[in-house]
Structure formats: C-alpha cells, structure tokens
Chain A
Amino acid sequence: MEEYAREPCPWRIVDDCGGAFTMGAIGGGIFQAIKGFRNSPVGVNHRLRGSLTAVKTRAPQLGGSFAVWGGLFSMIDCSMVRMRGKEDPWNSITSGALTGAILAARNGPVAMVGSAAMGGILLALIEGAGILLTRFASTQFPNGPQFSDDPSQLQPSPFGDYRQYQ
C-alpha cells in the first residue's frame, strides 16, 4: 500500500460519513425502486411513477441514517485511537457497540443494550471479513518480497552491543 504522509484520522470521519451516505442512498434507491414498482397500481406508467416516488422519498432518508451511523462510528473510532494510542480491531468493535448504544439512547436502556450488541456483532463480523480478506490476499503471493530466512542485516550481531548507524 502507498504510504500516507498525513494522519488518516480526523479526515476519515468525513470520508466515512460520505461513503456511508452513498452506500445507503444507492442501496436504498435500488431497494425502494423495486418495492415501489411492485406496490403501485397496475400499469407500467403507474408503476414507474410509484417507484420514482418511493425512491425520492425513502432513499435519501436511508442514506441519511447510514451517514449518521458512519460518521458517529468514525468519530468514536478516532477518539479511541487517540486515547489508546493503538489501532487494532478492538477499536472498531467497541465503537460500533457505542454507536449503536448512542443512537438508541432515546429508546431506553434495554434498547440501548440490544442495539449496542447488534452494532458490536456487526462490526466484529466486518473485522473478521477484513482479516480473512487480508489473509487471502497475502496467500496469493506465498513468500512475500524477498523473505530471507536469516534475520535481516539491520540486526545487530548476537554478541556485543555496537550500535549501527546507517
């Protein structure tokens, strides 16, 4: 992968928010188009118009709720990276659970717990898929770039503690 000169973190929030909105709008658009088509009165004209209306009313709504989820998730994720000083899968699982809890906060504590569990499980699944994908991608190239069997030459000699400058 290319190396980024700058930190991904604060910018990632905007990224995720927009990505989630796009995803929700496109997915919701397809779904609502089919559903509106089917739910309209008989006749192609009616059906097309009904499908268009459904898409216009519902798809931005779904995109918006996706965007709220993505943005809040990313914000919590970034704060956790900042606080823990470490990036690992725990961050995203915890922030998924916290996002679920916060967004269900107005429905009472029971709903919060359920929603938090759902969020955590969902993000755990996504992380698992990510791990699997990386593993699969790395097995495509069995022994990676010049994998040498002996410890690399930057390694100090086993005896003595001479510091090596390069």
Chain B
Amino acid sequence: MFCASLVRARQCSEKLQISPGRWLLAPSGRALSGTWPCPRWGHQPPRREPTSRPAVLLQGAKQSLWTQAGGLRAGKSGDSSKHVSVPRDQKEETLLSAAQKVKEAGRDFTYFIVVLVGISVTGGLFYVIFKELFSSSSPSKIYGDALEKCRSHPEVIAVFGEPIKGYGEATRRGRRQLVSHIEYIKDGLKHMRLKFYIEGSEPGKRGTVHVEVKENPDRGRFEVRYIFVDVDTFPRRTIIIEDNR
C-alpha cells in the first residue's frame, strides 16, 4: 500500500509540474466522480509512463481524474511519501531527451495559449457588462433615466395607469432586457436614439418611448434632446415629455 501511495504521489507531483491547463479538467472530474476511481490500483504494476502512450490528450484527462484522488490519498498518508518522490522526479527530468522536452514545451505553450484566450474572453465580457451597467453613457442607463421621467409624467400616468413598467426588445427566450438603440455622429457630436416600450395598469395599452440624447461638448456627457411617447393602441396620440431642441 505504501508503494501504491508513493506511485500516486509521484504522479501527482508530475501533474503539478505540467501545466495549469489541465487543472481546468480537475474540478469537474472530482465533482462528478463520486467513487474513488482506483481502489484496487495498488495491485497493478506501475507500468504507466506519461509519454509512452499514443493518446496523450485523453490520458491527460484520465490522469487528472486519478491524480486528484491520488493527491488526496497522498495528503492523508503523510509527508514521507512526498519527500521520497521529489528527488526521483528530478532525476527523471534530467533524463528527458530533447524531443520530449520540445514536446513538453509545445504542450505547455498550447495550454498557456488556451488559458490566455479564456482569460481575455472573460475580461472582455466583464468589461462590456460593467460598461453597460455603470457608465452614464450606456444605453441601459439612459433607458433607466428616461423611464423615470416617463413614470413621473402626469399625462403618461393618466393614459397608462399607475404602476408603469418598461422593457426593451423581446428575445426569443422571453427576455426583454436590452433596449434597441442606434448611435450616430452628427456635427461631430455623438447622438444616440433609443426605443423602448412601456405598459401600465390599463389593460391592452402599450406605448413606445423614443429618446434621443446628444453629447454635451463641454462636459462630455449625454443630454436629453427629446423624449416622447407614442401610444400604440387605438386612440393614437403622442405625449411629449421633454423637448430640448
């Protein structure tokens, strides 16, 4: 049993040196492998050498599954096995041929690229969402401000009824969070037009709110050019909420 735990610890330390990319596989493996994958593993001869098998990628995944368990085992069985494993591992490293080294480096580099791409994609998504939520010139912020103005306008309340709710374009999945907007530049100033919908407690009444904002050259912020509401149902009319042209 000691031998088995030693072998496991060795594989674990190999694993630690390889790359961070494989660790992506490790948590799911641990989470979904309810049973210990290798209780009878100690009886097998330690025949596995990492580079001697053809299916390198599959083996990597398998190894991560096993070494996760092995790592836990080794942690339980004490530090002595770890101490034994380290020098042997270093000796093996020096025995690697040049081709193997190149192979290792290539694999490391690939994983590094994968990790880098993942991090940059995540960062990009975070940037987009933070800009959307917190920047004062984002469509959703302008939409929120315009909706507040609509809610406090007496004529809108009279037509639509008191609790007024607003929403954007409906997607196929029933989400209506994103308002449709269009940005353009006129006279060197940024303009943005938005369109969203409001509904009140009056049944069947629906209105479309059109907003246009213009960049203020002094302060660099958007200022409202106009807000008006089109009532979409039968007594059609237009309610002007703000007109600063």
A-side interface residues toward B, CB under 8 Å?
1-4, 8-9, 11-12, 15-16, 19, 31-32, 35, 38-39, 58, 81, 85-92, 124-125, 127-132, 134, 138, 144, 147, 149, 151-152, 154-156, 158, 161, 163-166
Assuming A89-B132, A131-B178, A155-B226, what are 11 further A-B pairs, CB within 8 angstroms? A1-B171, A4-B174, A12-B173, A86-B147, A89-B140, A89-B177, A125-B122, A125-B125, A128-B125, A128-B126, A138-B180
The tally of residues in B whose CB lies under 8 Å from a CB in A reads 51
What residues of A have a CB within 8 angstroms of the CB of B226 in the complex?
Answer: 151, 155
- In the complex, whether B238 has a CB less than 8 A from a CB of chain A is yes
Cβ of A12: which chain B residues have Cβ within 8 Å of it?
Answer: 173-174
Q: Could you tell me if B165 and A81 are in contact, using CB atoms closer than 8 angstroms?
A: yes
B140 and A88 form a contact (CB under 8 A): yes
Q: Which of A2, A8, A130, A164 contacts B178 (CB 8 A)?
A: A130
Q: A31 near B32 (CB under 8 angstroms)?
A: yes
B17 to chain A, nearest CB (A): 24
Would you mind naming 9 contact pairs between A and B with Cβ atoms under 8 Å apart?
A38-B62, A87-B166, A87-B167, A89-B177, A92-B175, A92-B177, A125-B125, A128-B132, A166-B237
Query: Shortest 9 CB-CB distances between A and B: which pairs?
Result: A8-B174, A128-B125, A128-B129, A85-B165, A87-B167, A12-B174, A128-B128, A166-B236, A87-B176
Contact in complex: B128, A131 (CB < 8 Å):
yes
Residue of B nearest to A4 (CB): B170
Contacts of B147 in A (CB 8 A): 86
| Interface: B33 (CB within 8 A) | yes
B165's nearest neighbour on chain A, judged by CB, is A85
Which residue in chain B gives the minimum CB-CB distance to A85?
Answer: B165
Choose among A15, A85, A129, A151 the residue that contacts B173 (Cβ–Cβ < 8 A): A15
A5-B191 Cα distance, complex, nearest whole Å: 32
Residues of B within 8 A of A (CB): 28, 32-33, 37, 58, 62, 122, 124-129, 132-133, 140, 143-144, 147, 151, 163-178, 180, 182, 184, 186, 210, 212, 226, 228, 230, 236-238, 240, 243, 245
A86 in contact with B166 (CB, 8 Å): yes
Q: How many A-B residue pairs have CB under 8 A?
A: 125
The docked-state distance in angstroms from the alpha carbon of A67 to that of B133 is 28
Chain A residues within an 8 Å CB radius of B238? 154, 156, 163-164, 166
The answer for the CA separation of A149 and B153 in the assembled complex, in Å, is 28
CA distance A127 to B166 in the complex (A): 18
Which A residue sits closest to B232, measured CB to CB?
A3
Given known contacts A31-B32, A152-B210, A156-B243, A132 and B174 CB-to-CB distance under 8 angstroms:
no
- Of the candidates B166, B182, B184, B186, which one forms a contact with A85 in the assembled complex, judged by CB atoms under 8 Å apart? B166
A141 to B240, CA, bound (A): 30
List the B side residues contacting A35 at CB < 8 Å. 32-33
On chain B, the residues within 8 Å of A2 by CB distance are 170
